Structure 1
Amino acid sequence: MSEGSQADDLWWRAGTVYQVYPRSFQDTNGDGVGDLAGITARLGYLAWLGVDAVWLSPVFRSPMADYGYDVADYCDIDPLFGTLEDFDRLVAEAHRHRLKVILDFVPNHTSEQHPWFRASRSSREDPKRDWYIWRDPGPDGGPPNNWISNFGGPAWTLDPATGQFYYHAFLREQPDLNWRNPAVRAAMHDVLRFWLDRGVDGFRVDVIWHLIKDETLRDNPPNPDYQPGQADINRLLQQYSADQPEVMEVIAGMRRVLEEYDERVLIGEIYLPLERLVAYYGADLSGAHLPFNFQLISTPWRADAVAALVAGYEGLVPPGGWPNWVLGNHDQPRIAARVGDAQARVAAMLLLTLRGTPTLYYGDEIGLGAVPIPPDRVRDPWEHNEPGRGRDPERTPMQWDAGEHAGFSSVEPWLPLAPEAGRRTVERLRDDPGSILTLYRRLLTLRREHPALSVGSYRAVGTDGDVLTYERIHGTERLRVVLNFGHEACTALVSDEPWRILLSTSGGRAGEAPTEGGFALAGSEALILGP
């Protein structure tokens, strides 16, 4: 694959994105919940780590039925996190640290407490009635169709006062907006401009593939592959409730708003197969700059499976489009919980050496795993609706030091800390040359030092048992990445070229040359090789 046709110096192509879940990053006012002032206080750490942009999960005013993904005012900060002035200080301080700020934009649905929805449900004749999706009951008096909420149960709720149902792809407290209405689009474009004018460098758009629904609201067909025990949403194929062709026009409209400003990025959250995912780059690249690629999260953790995934994705990204990779976020079990502590190091090297923009999730750089959540501490509404689906274990507080509450707060945090919180902290790991935090920092440093890793092309070398090998190339620079997905030691054979180890996930091997045509690999070890 050749390098992309766009300029290599675009920050969102060469850089890395770091996701912060604001409730869990740093509490400064002693209420057990993280806040904007806490994020601002930790920007020096992010600059030290070496990331380029910080993405904030929602901080808009919200009743918190879904912890900020139910927005009651798109143009204000929830008092739990601070004020607009706090936000402005965060942006200014981030830019002083040469960090970009990406805001989570939640356009598919609002809170039921949003003034728009209150007006919409007040009367069938209200001017904002058509800002949401209202329908008469079905012939049996029940919901208008068979659509299921992504959080389980029906996706329709009856409003007795007006005798119609409203649609909600998630909680009943999150009614879906009608993006077929031009007035909705215009209002939301103004929301984007409000934050862009305050210096925001881009947006991650929540559930972007949901924005347009089938115009006639046809029933979704049964899923022939559904297995008992899967989430309720999997009972049906989401053929008509999401991923409709007209959504591309909506995304292109958002993109045009961002293009009124310099170098702003549009990222779309999209849980779809690769063939559909890449359509969200849009015709002539008029869609999302980065349609989020979550495929590594669900791909079997084997060399051959990952190699096939990368090859397939590289072959589908349109000319001029730029890839991206994600290994963890606020909705998915943490990397260390999925692959174990040893392989979490291999995952770090994979994420930060593939072609494309990587997104890191806070806490993964210190190896946070799944934190047990006692039943009386459960917060996630999905867990209450469908036990076993909860996302609290990957949303627990960041662990900064060995002090009380791991330096996150002066009081008991909103979610429990990991049992080993005092041992797995930034303070303890940052000066340890063998720690996973040091590994992340060295990988991020190498990305800055070597254009081959940040903006170079990708060339597959192949797989040999548990070992995956590929190269990154930029101009005359060529680097090789060797990843052992297995737990047994082996040898990675190389050609007679003068390779040397630039970095090992095990540490301590920099400058080492091959012996007898190969490099010894410990179990769960990965290498970056240079000339």
Structure 2
Amino acid sequence: MKSMRKKSLPWVLSLSVVLSLGLFGCSSAVSGSVATSLPASTVPGGTATPAVAMNSPQGWWHQNTVIYQIWVSAFQNGSTSALGNSGNLAGITAALNSNYFTALGVNALWLSPVFAASSLTTTSTNKHGYDTTDYNDVAAIYGSNQDLSDLITAAHAKGIRVIFDFVPNHTSNQNPWFTDSESSNTALHRDWYTWVSSVPNYPGPSNTSIWPGSDSNIWHYGNGSYYYGIFGSGMPDLNYNNPQVTAAMQAVVKGWMSFGFDGMRVDAARYLDEGTAPDTYADQPATHVWFDNLRANVLDAFPSATAKFMMGEVWGYTGSSQTATDLTYLNDQGTPEFNVVLDFTWPNLLISAINSGGASAVSSLTSHMVQDCTSAQNVGGDLGEFQSNHDLAASRPYTAYNGNAPKIFLAAALDLLGQGIPIVYYGNEIAMPGNVSGPDTNMRQPFDWNTEQTLASTTDSLWQWHSALAHLRTQYGAWNTPSITSVTTDNSSFLAFEISSALTGKKAIIVANLSGSTATAHLTVTAASVSGLLGSTASDSLQGTTLTVNTLPMDGVRVYALDDTSAVSVLNHDPVPGPASL
């Protein structure tokens, strides 16, 4: 019988946080991590060496990436005196400079829409930004183009990539393109939008009849005609049958990528082409061709040293139908399309499994985490895994698990340590509430910095747990272009899977207890040694091909390195989540 080895590791945190956590020892970085994928160690007053952008073999986003999604208006204002829903770009830059994201362990930021929009005003109650009025300028409430440049520069200096939210399907009805289009039948931009003289009488997306003048429908009255707008009269759809529209939007993407962005999330991707017959408002062949061309002609044309990526929102199905559709947007009949597609199946599947527990939950999680994620990888892409976001996809974890700290911890671990690319929505690391049963503003409340300061210095807090998980993923080589396989266990209520990297040779096993009580399980592994990476693994042991996981707490998680005697632990005990952790 071989005992588990145990070391400690100081992940890259701000000096004040390291001193307050007391979690990590003084060992060096994980042996075998990919140095070029990591920022230089930084502390207040120190310096950072920009990370090298990579595209080997597929792109930086495959390589130990954790994305942090920021709702800009709700995050932080650059002025400490500004409170409430008044976040701006300077506030994010300040968080970068104070090492917030470095301490949390994330290495990519996804910004909500920052370009000039009808909803991005000081008086707007829902600053969503998906109604663009000018694709070339930052919204005044967020700052200037220079402020955006400063943010990207600060992020890159920390080895952190930055992604923007691109809205190609529609504009604001206050966009100069549309106001000109509406002005007359012969306007310069008339054919930049879809106009008809009378409303077609066939079902819309919600299978309801289409009538003019109602935002529950998709045709809207304007100056004697009707225009198409699937998201309401305030957001008319662009007409991609017009080559001028394609040229203009490709120029927007190329311009902002050249500006310094590392990638983009594409809003409402499935609605780009409307078709010309009933029920052809989404997922049309022309939509796929458009994004195929955008990737080939614009994104992939950038040098590998500045690799760009595209992540799609393809929301509108349930279960296997959603996943099957996702795969078509990763690979269009053999042609690479999106690099990543947001996984809208995952949030509610995860909530249901963790809340129910047992063997059926393990089966459901294994099917999606292993089989579906592998299917995505096999067609050349990845699924983007998130627990909640700015829309009504799912309640925030605190609300979804009714404040049950162990379940919230378990959900964070499964989201961050799977094969897919994890996306942490701002505030989930500090257990902010947000109920899907209500307006989307429930999911867009101001970040609670007072709670963050408390949790960052509280032992076994959710913030510290997120930091440990994110640093494990970003700095241990198993998640460098990872593959996932299920692991056999004698306890059907234990979830076990292996993450491995062909690039680094690193392998890790993740074990989670969904049995409803403290339990022991025996796993079948092929390894000469195992070393603890996370959790109370000192009493666990490997004998032959059997790894014994002793007394794992209910909803607990442990992680082990295989055949890596130099591996070190990010957390050498099983946390005891409770009310004070949140």
Task: Name the structure 1 match of 2:267.
Answer: 206
Q: Cα gap change, 1:314/1:448 in structure 2, threshold over 3 Å: closer, same or farther?
A: closer
d(CA) in 2 for partners of 1:465 and 1:172? 52
Query: Identity, % of aligned pairs?
Result: 30
2:192 to 131, 134, 147: 131
Contact persistence 1:60–1:76 (CA under 8 A): yes
1:147 to 186, 197, 204: 204
Contact persistence 1:499–1:530 (CA under 8 A): yes
**Structure of greater relative contact order (alpha carbons < 8 Å, 6+ residues apart):** 2
Task: Name the structure 2 match of 1:489.
Answer: 518
1:247 to 287, 309, 332: 287
The size of the alignment, in residue pairs, is: 457
2:347 is equivalent to residue 290 of structure 1: no
d(CA) in 2 for partners of 1:120 and 1:31? 39
2:354 is equivalent to residue 325 of structure 1: no
Contact persistence 1:135–1:144 (CA under 8 A): no
Whichever residue aligns with residue 398 of structure 2, its letter is A
Deviation sequence 1:191-227 (CA, Å, 0-9, x none): 112212211111111011111111x232x3xxxxxxx
Q: Cα gap change, 1:511/1:453 in structure 2, threshold over 3 Å: closer, same or farther?
A: farther
d(CA) in 2 for partners of 1:41 and 1:510? 38
2:492 is equivalent to residue 468 of structure 1: no
Q: CA offset at residue 28 of structure 1? A: 3.0
2:398 is equivalent to residue 336 of structure 1: yes
d(CA) in 1 for partners of 2:444 and 2:521? 37
Write the mapping of 1:2-17 to structure 2, written as runs, cut at 5 A.
7-8=56-57, 10-14=59-63, 15-17=65-67
Task: Name the structure 2 match of 1:427.
Answer: 453
2:311 is equivalent to residue 267 of structure 1: yes
d(CA) in 1 for partners of 2:517 and 2:443? 29
d(CA) in 2 for partners of 1:328 and 1:478? 28
Whichever residue aligns with residue 481 of structure 1, its letter is I
Contact persistence 2:374–2:484 (CA under 8 A): no
Task: Name the structure 2 match of 1:398.
Answer: 447
Contact persistence 1:500–1:511 (CA under 8 A): no
SS at match of 1:80: helix
Q: Cα gap change, 1:477/1:78 in structure 2, threshold over 3 Å: closer, same or farther?
A: closer
Write the mapping of 1:82-93 to structure 2, written as runs, cut at 5 A.
82-93=143-154
Deviation sequence 1:319-356 (CA, Å, 0-9, x none): 44344322221113212222343212111111121113
d(CA) in 2 for partners of 1:495 and 1:193? 49
1:42 to 89, 95, 114: 95
Task: Name the structure 1 match of 2:556.
Answer: 525
Please report the TM-score for the alignment, with normalisation by the length of structure 1: 0.81
d(CA) in 1 for partners of 2:328 and 2:66? 23
SS at match of 1:517: strand
Q: CA offset at residue 285 of structure 1? A: 4.5
Deviation sequence 1:237-270 (CA, Å, 0-9, x none): xxx1111111111101221211232301111111
SS at match of 2:202: coil
Task: Name the structure 1 match of 2:328.
Answer: 279
Q: CA offset at residue 460 of structure 1? A: 0.7
d(CA) in 2 for partners of 1:517 and 1:344? 25
Whichever residue aligns with residue 456 of structure 2, its letter is R
SS at match of 1:209: helix
Deviation sequence 1:375-394 (CA, Å, 0-9, x none): xxxxxxxx9xxxx4411222
Task: Name the structure 2 match of 1:27.
Answer: 77
Contact persistence 2:331–2:379 (CA under 8 A): no
d(CA) in 2 for partners of 1:248 and 1:9? 21
Contact persistence 1:53–1:102 (CA under 8 A): yes
Contact persistence 2:339–2:380 (CA under 8 A): no
Q: Cα gap change, 1:474/1:315 in structure 2, threshold over 3 Å: closer, same or farther?
A: closer
Contact persistence 1:25–1:398 (CA under 8 A): yes
d(CA) in 2 for partners of 1:472 and 1:335? 24
Q: CA offset at residue 315 of structure 1? A: 4.7
Q: Cα gap change, 1:9/1:106 in structure 2, threshold over 3 Å: closer, same or farther?
A: closer
Whichever residue aligns with residue 469 of structure 1, its letter is A
What are structure 2's unaligned runs of at least 5 residues? 1-54, 208-213, 354-360, 563-582
SS at match of 1:89: helix
d(CA) in 2 for partners of 1:184 and 1:144? 27
Contact persistence 1:285–1:321 (CA under 8 A): no
Whichever residue aligns with residue 509 of structure 2, its letter is R
1:190 to 230, 251, 269: 251
Contact persistence 1:270–1:277 (CA under 8 A): yes
Contact persistence 1:35–1:80 (CA under 8 A): yes
Contact persistence 1:72–1:113 (CA under 8 A): yes
Q: Cα gap change, 1:489/1:8 in structure 2, threshold over 3 Å: closer, same or farther?
A: farther
1:61 to 105, 116, 120: 116
Contact persistence 1:365–1:436 (CA under 8 A): yes
1:51 to 106, 124, 132: 106
d(CA) in 2 for partners of 1:490 and 1:258? 49
d(CA) in 2 for partners of 1:135 and 1:346? 52
Q: Cα gap change, 1:127/1:290 in structure 2, threshold over 3 Å: closer, same or farther?
A: same
Contact persistence 1:49–1:444 (CA under 8 A): yes
d(CA) in 1 for partners of 2:499 and 2:375? 18
Deviation sequence 1:30-81 (CA, Å, 0-9, x none): 2631111101101120122121111100011112076211001111111111
d(CA) in 1 for partners of 2:457 and 2:132? 41
d(CA) in 2 for partners of 1:440 and 1:202? 24
SS at match of 1:47: helix
**Quick check: 108-117 or 95-104, which moved more?**
95-104
d(CA) in 2 for partners of 1:490 and 1:524? 10
Q: Cα gap change, 1:465/1:391 in structure 2, threshold over 3 Å: closer, same or farther?
A: farther
d(CA) in 2 for partners of 1:247 and 1:11? 26
Task: Name the structure 1 match of 2:240.
Answer: 179
2:366 to 307, 311, 331: 307
Contact persistence 1:470–1:480 (CA under 8 A): yes
Q: CA offset at residue 144 of structure 1? A: 4.7
Q: Cα gap change, 1:449/1:78 in structure 2, threshold over 3 Å: closer, same or farther?
A: closer
SS at match of 1:187: helix
Contact persistence 1:149–1:170 (CA under 8 A): no
Contact persistence 1:35–1:82 (CA under 8 A): yes
d(CA) in 2 for partners of 1:478 and 1:31? 45
What are structure 1's unaligned runs of at least 5 residues? 1-5, 221-239, 372-382, 402-424
d(CA) in 2 for partners of 1:314 and 1:93? 33
d(CA) in 1 for partners of 2:112 and 2:538? 40
